[in-house]
Amino acid sequence: MTLWSRAWTGPRVVAAAVATTLSVAAPAVLAAAGVRLWWLLGSGVVVAAVGGVFAPAFADSYRRARERSENSGLALARDSVLRKVREITNPAELGVHPSRHADPQGAAAGPADAPGGSDRVPPYVPRDIHDRLVELLAAGGFLLLVGESTAGKTRAAYEAIRAALADHTLIAPGGRSVLPDAIERAAQLPRCVLWLDNAERFLGSDGLTLTNVARLIGGEGHHRVVLATIRSAEMARYTDSAHPDAADAAEARQVLEQATQLRLRRPLTSAERERAQTRAWDQRIADALDHADEYGLAEYLAAGPELLNDWENAWEAGHPRAAALIAAAVDCRRAGLTRPLPRTLLESLHEGYLARQGGEGLGPEPLEEAWAWATRPRRATTALIRPSTIPDGEPRAVEVFDYLVDATQQDMTPDSRVPEQTLAGALTVGDATEAGQIGTIAYGYGLYELATQAFERAREMNIADLGLEHPETLTDRSNRVVMLGELGRFEEAEAEARAVLELRTRTLGPEHPDSLHSRAILAGALYGRGDYAQAEAEARATLETLPRVLGPDDVRVLTTRSLLAATLREQGRFEESQATYTDVLQARTRVQGAGHPDTLGSRYGLGATLQFLGRYQEAEAELRVALEGLARALGPEHLRTTVARNLLASALGGLGRLQEAQTEMRAALGAQTRLMGPEHPSVLHSRNNLAVLLRRLERYEEAEAEARTALEGRTRILGPDHPETASSREILASLLRHQGRHDEADHVG
């Protein structure tokens, strides 16, 4: 996974300005003005781009993966489909959702040679992409079908390979753990289809990489195909730069971008409806056509809307515990777990969901009854939760109907995010790739302690499997740098950032995007430590090359420019800072949209700088837009929202609206303390600001208490020589002098 953070505590108080004016202290803004820098850790590991430098490491990774199984060949045979395409006559075997049983009378009325029909699967209605898909399969290569759950992707893929590649060997690995062996086997066959239904299950450092895709489809003397499907929501998360979770797995994104993509929509086109009419002798098709204005064909046949309705009604229809188990399973998938889910995990998590809906007041049924209800097939098609047996036949794991996951993801709000307890539980069973995904989500939620744990787990797993200097391990180490910054451990962050930069520069060269990103991360660590001049130098060094490599409007370039703007502000170069922020804000609005959290972060960075220029009314306008947007996008108590609230309080103080400023500032401080604890650098910064505001309100005793708390905490956390510690010392001294306590003030100073 890749992550770079807006993770540094800033902007810093300019001690001289505070000492002179004792107006509202400089606002607490995160580094690069709150821009999320998760993408900046490495843009993924582009193995092909570095001439195969890391190919031996990937091969060694496969060897170690095989060593973890006593007999990898048996594991592949046991957990996978491995047969000639023409021998696979049941599409449900490859993941096609079954429909209800055929109507015997309707079936008898159909043609004897009706294509693809059976008791559990209705006849195939060719989609508009069918001929193109057959043509591409005949040519070979890497093909990816993209669409929502129950759009018909898997059925379309199955029918196309039956038409184009009937004599090829199909290998459908059961999960990422056997994928290396599936690739090894596929590479030995001259005619082969590697079938990856729900491709998100197979992405990651130990999954589908650029190297093994090239190994399968590159060269001559064979005809191999990698055929994959992926849900639209997953595709967006990996590839859409404006998506909140984008670029959290950059190599996965690059792998997907190598594929020839075909999109399949749920609703039938007019041509598809006409073809469906010729198959309406099957009552299931006829019924689906009757509802074609509301639902897609495959969606209706798989009973997706009905199953979703059953789940939603279960809370009040006598099955609340089953509904809670399903909710836990859906959120485990949303958290990043792609493998079958242990029943024990869902049982441990579901009580939280039950409690949020009313707990015992709902009259929850016994656990075994809940499992029986949730796993019972409905409409003779599929179940809300489907048992997934492991080799000894014990139903210890389950899979949730992916239609429910899609439905939950479609209307995301801050209130519907995955609970922290679920993320933590999922982390206990996740592999390195899944741990990185959980860390990215936790980071986006502002759950930095949990994100740190997740990235540490990913790092440890990848060190064990890939080695200390493998690109994926270096990405994990970079993630750790970000989290150290979030936790205020800037010296550790700087040391680790320098180590990663040295390794990447040595192995990739100084102008490789990963090396440049590591330099920008080092700039952020230096900013957090208060070395603004050196941070500026590193940011400028990065920007000398990065725009040429990635383009001037690449999100990574814009984030580095935001960091540069923050360093300029902290050195008192406010006009330069304002100009840089303005340019970045315009570019982000164009590239990512006005409501994206990164764009709003640049907006409140600009608002902070405008305050230093004394332009408080302009600052207030910018900050209100940022605060309202972040509250909608991330929630009112997200860390980035509290930063915007603190900045708005500062602007209000500059306008003389002190009571309003105090209300906003205390609200932000309370939320920050709950989120990060009382001694986090951002919390101490907010206390510093509050002390100055209370002094202006002539509440000297309260102001002194806040100033002393901030100074003591900063001395302990940041050290006595840090610029923020110096500013706290000066604020406390000024307060004491104002009260005539000059000896005490001299001692503090």
Q: What is the DSSP string of 45-81?
A: --TGGGTTTTHHHHHHHHHHHHHTSS-HHHHHHHHSE
Nearest to 30 by CA among 599, 710, 685, 677: 685
Other Cβ atoms closer than 10 A to 397: 18
C-alpha torsion 432→436→438→441, nearest 10 = -170
C-alpha span between 60 and 550 (Å, rounded): 31
> In this structure, what DSSP letter does residue 318 have?
T
* Top-confidence range, 75-89, 176-190, 303-317, 619-633: 619-633
- 708 vs 488 pLDDT, higher one: 708
Q: Can you tell me the mean pLDDT for 356-384?
A: 88
Output the pLDDT for position 64. Answer: 43
Bridge partners, 231 (sequence order): 147
Q: Are 65 and 58 in contact (CB under 8 A)?
A: no
Output the pLDDT for position 411. Answer: 67
Q: How many CA atoms lie within 13 A of 517 on its CB side?
A: 31
Other Cβ atoms closer than 10 A to 481: 31
C-alpha span between 290 and 293 (Å, rounded): 8
Grade residue 143 by pLDDT with cuts at 50, 70 and 90: very high
| Structure tokens belonging to residue 51 | 């001439």
Bridge partners, 10 (sequence order): 29
Grade residue 118 by pLDDT with cuts at 50, 70 and 90: low
Nearest to 451 by CA among 533, 541, 346, 335: 335
Helix axes 448-466 and 55-67, enclosed angle (nearest 10):
90
Q: Can you tell me the mean pLDDT for 558-571?
A: 94
Task: Give the contacts of 220 (CB within 8 A, at least 6 positions apart).
Answer: none
What Cα–Cα distance (Å) separates residue 374 from each residue in 101, 316, 336?
Answer: 20, 15, 22
Other Cβ atoms closer than 10 A to 698: 9
Output the pLDDT for position 589. Answer: 95
**678, pLDDT greater than 90:** no
C-alpha span between 398 and 11 (Å, rounded): 48
Q: Can you tell me the mean pLDDT for 677-681?
A: 83
Q: Can you tell me the mean pLDDT for 129-142?
A: 94
C-alpha span between 723 and 719 (Å, rounded): 9
Q: Could you report the per-residue pLDDT of 403-424, keeping only the tens digit for each?
A: 888 888 876 676 788 999 999 9
**584, pLDDT greater than 90:** yes
Tell me which residue has tokens 């608002």.
Answer: 607
Q: Are 255 and 213 in contact (CB under 8 A)?
A: yes
**395, pLDDT greater than 80:** no
C-alpha span between 110 and 107 (Å, rounded): 5
- 685 vs 584 pLDDT, higher one: 584
C-alpha span between 50 and 40 (Å, rounded): 19
Output the pLDDT for position 416. Answer: 82
Output the pLDDT for position 519. Answer: 94
Give me the phi and psi of 721, to 5 degrees please: -100, 0
C-alpha span between 441 and 392 (Å, rounded): 34
**53, pLDDT greater than 50:** no
Output the pLDDT for position 528. Answer: 87
Element (H, E) at 715: helix 700-717
Q: Which amino acid is at 245?
A: D
* Top-confidence range, 65-74, 195-204, 238-247: 195-204
C-alpha span between 111 and 262 (Å, rounded): 31
Task: Classify strands 260-263 and 341-342 as parallel, antiparallel or unpaired.
Answer: unpaired
> What spatial distance separates the first Cα and last Cα of the chain, rounded to whole Å?
46
Task: Give the contacts of 305 (CB within 8 A, at least 6 positions apart).
Answer: 294, 295, 299
C-alpha span between 595 and 602 (Å, rounded): 11
C-alpha span between 470 and 250 (Å, rounded): 15
C-alpha span between 310 and 297 (Å, rounded): 20
**666, pLDDT greater than 60:** yes
Count the helix, strand and coil residues of the chain and give each as a percent rounded to the nearest 5.
65, 5, 30
Nearest to 367 by CA among 351, 383, 353: 351
Fold exhibited by the domain 75-301: Rossmann fold (3.40.50)
Grade residue 477 by pLDDT with cuts at 50, 70 and 90: confident
C-alpha span between 378 and 282 (Å, rounded): 20
> In this structure, what DSSP letter does residue 398 have?
E
Q: Is 27 helix (H, G, I), strand (E, B) or coil?
A: coil
**116, pLDDT greater than 90:** no
Q: CB under 8 Å, gap of 24 or more: what pairs does 667-673 form?
A: 668/642, 668/643, 671/636, 671/637, 671/641, 671/642, 671/645, 672/639, 672/642
Q: Are 680 and 448 in contact (CB under 8 A)?
A: no
Q: Are 249 and 441 in contact (CB under 8 A)?
A: no
Output the pLDDT for position 541. Answer: 96
C-alpha span between 642 and 627 (Å, rounded): 8
Q: Encode 409-440 in three state secondary structure.
A: HHCCCHHHCCCHHHHHHHHCCCCHHHHHHHHH
Least confident of 57-71, 108-122, 355-369, 452-466: 57-71
C-alpha span between 138 and 710 (Å, rounded): 68
Give me the phi and psi of 169, to 5 degrees please: -85, 130
Bridge partners, 504 (sequence order): none
Output the pLDDT for position 615. Answer: 95
Q: Could you report the per-residue pLDDT of 490-515, keeping only the tens digit for each?
A: 889 999 999 999 999 998 899 998 89
Q: Edge to edge, what strands does the sheet with 397-400 contain?
A: 341-342, 397-400, 385-388
Other Cβ atoms closer than 10 A to 521: 33
Least confident of 340-354, 467-481, 653-667, 701-715: 467-481
Output the pLDDT for position 252. Answer: 79
Least confident of 42-51, 518-527, 595-604, 635-644: 42-51
Q: Classify domain 9-44+434-748 by CATH number.
A: 1.25.40.10
Give me the phi and psi of 387, to 5 degrees please: -60, 140
Output the pLDDT for position 526. Answer: 93
C-alpha span between 644 and 29 (Å, rounded): 8
**469, pLDDT greater than 80:** yes
| Structure tokens belonging to residue 611 | 């305050």
- 103 vs 656 pLDDT, higher one: 656
Q: Are 403 and 302 in contact (CB under 8 A)?
A: yes
Q: Could you report the per-residue pLDDT of 704-736, keeping only the tens digit for each?
A: 999 999 999 888 888 888 888 888 898 898 888
Grade residue 29 by pLDDT with cuts at 50, 70 and 90: very low
Share of the chain above pLDDT 90, in %: 44
> Residues for the chain: how many in total?
749
Nearest to 155 by CA among 117, 187, 182, 183: 117
Tell me which residue has tokens 């009419």.
Answer: 277
- 554 vs 486 pLDDT, higher one: 554
Q: Is 494 helix (H, G, I), strand (E, B) or coil?
A: helix
